[in-house]
Amino acid sequence: MKQNPLEITNLGQLKKSGYLPKSIKKEMRDNLIAKLKSKEKLFEGIMGYDDTVLPDVERAILSGHNILLLGLRGQAKTKIARMMIYLLDEYVPIITGSELNDDPLQPISKFGVDIVIAKADETPISWVHRSERYVEKLATPDVSISDLIGDVDPIKAANLKLPYSDERVIHFGLIPRSHRSIFVINELPDLQARIQVSLFNILQEGDLQIRGFKVRLPLDVSFVFTANPEDYTNRGSIITPLKDRIESQILTHYPRSVETSMSITAHEAKISKDLFSKINVPYLHRKLIELINFNARESEYVDIKSGVSARLSISSLENLYSTAERRMLLNGEETTTTRITDFWGVIPAITGKVELVYEGEQEGPYNVALHLIFKSIKTLFLEQFPNPNQKLKRELKDEYGTIKAYFSGGNMLELLNDDMENIFNKKLEQVAGLRKIAETYMKHDDEITHLMELVIFGLAESDVLGKNILENSLEFGDPLSDMLSDLEN
C-alpha cells in the first residue's frame, strides 16, 4: 500500500488501498525472505548460534512451522522467541473494538461478522502495532483450559441479558485473543497433560471449540514453545501427541567457546557507564568468569542434567564490578582495577545458580563455589605460564626458583580483600622473582600486576605455595611451614 496505513479509517478505504489479507506465517515468511536477501541480521544480540540454532529457526519459519525450542536453562530460548516480532509487519488493520483482532476482510468472530454486515464499507478500522501481536504465557500447573481457550462468562450473560446458548456470552482465553499473533508458551512440560490435549485441534486443524458451543474459530496463530529436556523437568513432560503436532523441534545449547561466552556476558551484563569508566576489568578476569561457568558444567558436584545458565556469568561480572566499587568507595579511590581477591564477591552469584548433586550438598554450596573458582584460576594460570610441577631437564633453571626461595625463607604474603591499590601492588612487588616471571610471559594486552597476582594464586593451586583463607584476607607462604603449623595446631 502506497498510502499511509494509519490514515485508513474504514473498510472502504482499506479495499481501495489494495490491502490483501495474509496469514501470520506467510507474513513472517515474506519478511524473513526480505531480511535474508538484504543480509540484515535478524536476531541481534544472540551469539554462538549462527551456524546451529538460528539457521534451524529460519528454516522452520520458511516452512510455516510451529516451533519448540528445547534446551537447558539460560540458553536464550525466550529471547529468540521475543525477537520474532521483528518478522511481523509493523502495522496490520483490525475491526475497531474486535476482541480477536479480526481482519476486516476475513472476520472470524460473531462481533466482526455482524459489524461488517451492518456497516459494510463504513466498518471502522484500527491499526495494531506488531509489539501488540506478541503474547507470552508462562506454563504453570494451575493454568486452566479457560485461561488458554475460554469459557462461558456468567457476568457477561447477566449484563447483556443473554441466555448461555448465545455465542456472545463467551469469554475468550489467551489463544483466541492472540489471533494473527505470535503466541509463546514457556516451560511447556509444566502444563498439565489434559491442558496440553486442548492444544491438539489448534495445532492440527488451526481452529478451536469452546465447550457448550458449536462455534469453530479458524484461528491464525504462530506458536512458539520452550521447554527443558524431559529427563530434567521432573514436574511433567510434553505428551507425545502434542510433540508430534509441533512441526519443528530445535535443540539449543550453551556457548561452545570461552570467547563467545565472554561476548554474551559483556552484552547482557547491566553495568552503568559511570561504573564502566571507573573500574577496569582486565581480559584475564573476564575469562576467569567464563572458566568458572564452563567448569561448573563439568563439575562432579553439579547436576549436569539441570545445566548451568549463562546468567551465572552475567551475575558474576555484575558482582565483580560491585565488589571493586565497594572497595574503591571504602578506600576513597576514584578508579580501580579488579583483582582475583575480588572474586570472593562473586560467590553469591555462583551458589544460587548451580544445582548440586549429593556430593555437592555434602561439600556445601560455599565450598563448591570456592572449588570452582580455584580450579578455574589454575586453568587460567597453566594457559599463561609453564606448569611448575613438570620435571625440568637438568640444564634448565627452575623459573619459579626465586619465588620458592623467597617463601621458604620464612616470608609471607598477606592480601587483604580491601587493600588500597598502591598497598596491594607494593605487597606483590616485594615477592622476589615475581615481577620477572610475569614480564617474561606477559602478552601485549596484559597488565603486570594482574599477572603477578595470577602467578601467586596459580602456584598455590599447584601446591607450590601454601594458602590460608581467612575471613577478609588470604595468606601465602611456604607449604612445608604451613603443614608444620597445622600439625602444631
Interval 380-416: pLDDT, tens: 999 999 999 886 655 567 789 999 999 998 899 999 9
For residues 3 and 1, what is the distance between their CA atoms, to the nearest angstrom?
5
Distance between CA 377 and CA 278 in Å, rounded?
A: 25
Q: Identify the burial level of 214 via C-beta atoms within 10 angstroms of its C-beta, where 0-12 means exposed, 13-18 middle and 19 or more buried.
A: exposed
How many whole angstroms separate alpha carbon 172 and alpha carbon 152?
9
CB-neighbour burial class of residue 181 (10 A; exposed 0-12, middle 13-18, buried 19+): buried
H helix or E strand, kind and range, residue 291 = helix 283-298
Q: Hey, is 449 helix, strand or coil?
A: helix
Q: Which residues pair with 227 in a beta bridge?
A: 70
pLDDT at 369: 95
In sequence order, the 6+-apart residues with CB closer than 8 A to the CB of 393 are none
pLDDT of residue 391: 67
Contact 110, 170 (CB under 8 A): no
pLDDT at 483: 52
Partner residues linked to 92 by β-bridges: 128
Domains of the chain: 5-251 (3.40.50.300), 255-384 (1.10.8), 386-489 (1.10.10)
Q: Which of 51, 100, 61, 52 is nearest to 83 (CA)?
A: 61
Low pLDDT (below 50) residues in the chain = 232-233, 484, 487
Q: In the beta sheet, which residues pair with residue 218?
A: 207
**CA dihedral angle for residue 344, residue 346, residue 348, residue 351, rounded to 10 degrees:** -100
